[in-house]
Amino acid sequence: MKPINHVLQSCGLSLRYLLNHTKLIGLSLTCHPGEYQIGNECCPKCPPGSQVKTHCKEYSSRSCAPCMGGTYTDQQNGLERCLSCTNCDSGSGLRVKTPCTSTSDTVCEPLERFYCVSYEKDSCRRAQEHRHCKPGQYIRQNGTASTDTECSDCSSGTFSNGTFHSCQPHTQCHSLNLQLITEGTLAADNQCGEKSNHVTPTITVIVLIIVGLVISVISIIMLKKKKGIVFKSR
């Protein structure tokens, strides 16, 4: 009996050791880079452009299915569903630079007159419209797809409506033989106009005075002649 009991006891210890060792293996399961873990199995990853259709089991390998339209995977993976392609939203100032494929996501870029403020990998995720320079400022540096427009203030004696790339000097009216009508500001030019002709009104006044005097003299002469005739008739 003792030999049989010793054998059974040894078998029990061996079985317990195997069970404990199996549990330890399950807890410390590490898959290779080209594999993914599912339960206690390490399955080969599916190639880019596909997803897992069925996982591998102890006696069967995994199977893959291609990504359908509007989805992709760009790396080896153990995903059961391909990733959705990014939408380049025009409301966020974006447009498509490179369309999505089964192995790569959509690449977005800013719309015209917009610049990117948030990148993810090589794709823009959010853009803002370039700033508009105010009247009294000029465009120092045009905006690009990655930078905003830079504005600077005009100095005294110059002006810009906000769309100029340099401030312009105020027009010198006197150099054009014109007179200043409205003085310019940092946002607007001088307003010039024809010079007022003060000679003509003066001449007109003089002529009117002379005509008036002539008429007065003639009237006096005529009046005297009438009086002379009256006296002679008496």
Task: Parse the chain into domains and list their residue ranges.
Answer: 33-84, 87-129, 131-190
Q: What angle do CA 121, 125, 126 make, to 5 degrees?
A: 140
Q: Is there a shared CATH topology between the 87-129 domain and the 131-190 domain?
A: yes
Tell whether the model's pLDDT for residue 129 goes beyond 90. Answer: yes
* Strand (E) or helix (H) holding 10: helix 2-27
Please tell me the predicted confidence (pLDDT) of residue 29. 83
CATH topology for the 87-129 domain: Tumor Necrosis Factor Receptor, subunit A; domain 2 (2.10.50)
Alpha carbon distance 157, 149 (integer Å): 24
At 162, give phi and psi (nearest 5°): 105, -10
Mean pLDDT across the stretch 50-61? Answer: 94
Under 8 Å between Cβ of 108 and 138: no
- Concatenated DSSP letters for 79-116? -SSPEEPPP--GGGTEEEEE--BTTB--EEEEPTTEEE
The answer on pLDDT for 87 being more than 60 is: yes
Q: Top-level CATH class of 33-84?
A: mainly beta
With CA atoms as reference, report the closest residue to 42 among 24, 26, 64.
26
Distances in whole angstroms, Cα of residue 166 to Cα of each of 61, 106, 173, 186: 70, 40, 21, 12
**pLDDT computed for residue 4 by the predictor:** 46
Mean pLDDT of 97-121: 97
At 135-188, the pLDDT tens digits run 999 999 999 999 999 999 999 999 999 999 999 999 999 999 999 999 999 999
Give the separation between CA 86 and CA 118, rounded to whole angstroms: 14
Q: What class does CATH assign to 131-190?
A: mainly beta
- Main-chain dihedrals φ then ψ at residue 189, nearest 5 degrees: -80, 165
Q: Is the pLDDT of residue 12 over 50?
A: no
Q: 118-122, 128-132, 222-226: lowest mean pLDDT where?
A: 222-226
Please report the pLDDT score of residue 201 as a whole number.
65
